[in-house]
Amino acid sequence: MKINNGFNSWNTPYLFQAMEDTMASFTEEQRARIISLGIGDPDIETPAPIRRRIMQEHREVYHGYPTAQGRLDLREAISKYYQNRFNVQVSAREVFVGSGAKTDLFDLNAVFSRPGDSVVILDPAYPVYRDAALYRGNKIVYISGTLANRYQPELPDETQLHDLALIYLCYPNNPTGADADADYIQSMIDLARKHKAMIVMDIAYADFVPGNTPSSAFSIFQFPGGDEVGIEVASFSKPFSMTGDRISWVTIKNPEAARFWHRYRANRDSGASNYDQVGALEALTSPEVKSIVHENFNTYGRRARILKDGLDTLGFQWTGLTNTPYAWFKVPGSDDIETARKILEEVGVILTPGSGFGPAGRGFLRATVFQPESRLEEAISRLKRFDFESA
Ligand code: PLP
CA 49 – CA 69 distance, rounded (Å)? 25
Q: Specify the pLDDT at position 21.
A: 73
Q: Which residue has the CA at smallest separation from atom 8 of ligand 1? A: 40
243 lines ligand 1 (CB under 6 A): yes
DSSP strands (E only) in the chain? 35-36, 95-98, 118-123, 139-144, 164-170, 198-202, 230-235, 248-252, 318-320, 326-330, 349-350, 352-353, 364-368
CA distance 90 to 83: 7
Q: What is the pLDDT of residue 255?
A: 98
The closest alpha carbon to 173, from 122, 231, 215, 213, belongs to 122
What pLDDT score does 390 carry? 80
What lies within 8 Å, CB to CB, of 298 at 6+ separation is: 211, 212
Query: Ligand 1 centre from 56 Cα, in Å?
Result: 27
Choice from 126, 249, 328, 369 to test ligand 1 binding pocket (greatest atom count within 8 A of CB): 126
* 138 touches 85 (CB < 8 A): no
Q: In terms of Cα–Cα distance, which of 376, 357, 359, 358 is closest to 367?
A: 376
324 lines ligand 1 (CB under 6 A): no
User: Which protein residue's CA is at the shortest distance from atom 12 of ligand 1?
Assistant: 101
Taking the C-alpha atoms of residue 90 and residue 67, their distance in angstroms, rounded to an integer, is 20
- CB of 323 shorter than 6 A to ligand 1: no
Q: What are phi and psi of 249, to 5 degrees?
A: -150, 160
Query: Given this model, what pLDDT does residue 39 score?
Result: 85
The pLDDT assigned to 142 comes to 96
pLDDT in tens, the chain (391 residues): 988 888 777 766 555 666 667 778 888 888 889 999 998 999 999 999 999 999 999 999 988 999 999 999 999 999 999 999 999 999 999 999 999 999 999 999 999 999 999 999 999 999 999 999 999 999 999 999 999 999 999 999 999 898 999 999 999 999 999 999 999 999 999 999 999 999 999 999 999 999 999 888 999 999 999 999 999 999 999 999 999 999 999 999 999 999 999 999 999 989 999 999 999 999 999 999 999 999 999 999 999 999 999 999 999 999 999 999 999 999 998 889 889 989 998 999 999 999 999 999 999 999 999 999 999 999 999 999 999 988 7
Q: Which atom of ligand 1 is nearest to the CA of 102?
A: 16
90 C-alpha vs ligand 1 centroid, how far in Å?
22
**CA 161 to ligand 1 center in whole angstroms:** 27
How many A from CA of 24 to the centre of ligand 1? 24
Pocket probe for ligand 1: among 14, 108, 169, 174, the residue whose CB has the most ligand atoms within 8 Å is 174
What is the DSSP code (8-state) at residue 70? -
Neighbouring residues of 163: CB distance < 8 A, sequence distance ≥ 6: 114, 116, 117, 118, 195
Decide whether any atom of ligand 1 lies within 6 Å of the 102 Cβ. Answer: yes
pLDDT tens readout for residues 28-77 = 888 889 999 998 999 999 999 999 999 999 999 988 999 999 999 999 99
Number of residues assigned to the chain? 391
Q: pLDDT for 122-155, tens place per residue?
A: 999 999 999 999 999 999 999 999 999 999 999 9
